[in-house]
Chains A and B, each alone.
Chain A
Amino acid sequence: NAGVMQNPRHLVRRRGQEARLRCSPMKGHSHVYWYRQLPEEGLKFMVYLQKENIIDESGMPKERFSAEFPKEGPSILRIQQVVRGDSAAYFCASSPSRDAVLTFGAGSRLTVL
């Protein structure tokens, strides 16, 4: 039973380009969470999704960022027109139900040049 799979593990983009980060939750998990982590800091909540629905996006910037979790396929975090301040590690976590313990992926590290 594979864990939470994230790809790419490392992504380099130039300012103004788009970044797409993918997350496949654990088998049987329908709840997905995205977090952002800056160096030597904790994880900051971005968005919580449950199949095809955004439950809570209170931590996601209003512009340039979007997330989806389609009926088929992985969850995707999309960052348009990236800026240097978007450079961070983005972690996805999944759980089988709301309020259940989270299982994290290994993260996607975005570097914006």
Chain B
Amino acid sequence: TQLLEQSPQFLSIQEGENLTVYCNSSSVFSSLQWYRQEPGEGPVLLVTVVTGGEVKKLKRLTFQFGDARKDSSLHITAAQPGDTGLYLCAVNTNAGKSTFGDGTTLTVKP
């Protein structure tokens, strides 16, 4: 079983719409990261959330860490074509390595 379950797997929306993607687990984590990966490139870190219930904003992106630190969500307001990409959540597991979910592939159509 996957440590991190991301949903939906694919999402296609029109420019200007809002959306939320999720990262869920049955395990508790000390922190969680969100990355965005554009086609042909490596993942780029967007944010790290640490405290249960924490909300962080990055322009039109809002990240929330669940109260129990088992899950997280990413909400995008007024999506733009430049938001298109693969959104990955990740956590640090034993021995310092990061484990990733399978991601949500977002397509924003003009």
B-binding residues in A (CB < 8 A): 4, 31, 33, 35, 40-45, 48, 55-56, 91, 93, 98-99, 101-107
Main secondary structure of the interface of B (DSSP, over half): strand
CB-based contact A101/B45 at 8 Å: yes
Asked whether any CB of chain A lies closer than 8 Å to the CB of B48, the reply is yes
Chain B positions 75-99 with a Cβ under 8 Å from a chain A Cβ = 86, 88, 92, 95-99
CB-based contact A45/B42 at 8 Å: no
Distance in angstroms between the alpha carbons of A102 and B99 in the assembled complex: 11
Distance in angstroms between the alpha carbons of A43 and B88 in the assembled complex: 9
CB-based contact B100/A43 at 8 Å: yes
CB-based contact B96/A42 at 8 Å: no
CB nearest to A3 among chain B residues: B42
24 pairs across A/B with beta carbons < 8 Å? A33-B98, A40-B103, A40-B105, A41-B102, A42-B6, A42-B103, A43-B88, A43-B100, A45-B100, A56-B96, A56-B97, A91-B43, A93-B98, A98-B96, A99-B96, A101-B33, A102-B98, A104-B42, A104-B44, A106-B40, A106-B41, A107-B40, A107-B41, A107-B42
Known interface pairs A45-B99, A55-B96. Does A104 touch B48 (Cβ–Cβ under 8 Å)?
no
CB nearest to A48 among chain B residues: B97
Distance in angstroms between the alpha carbons of A41 and B10 in the assembled complex: 11
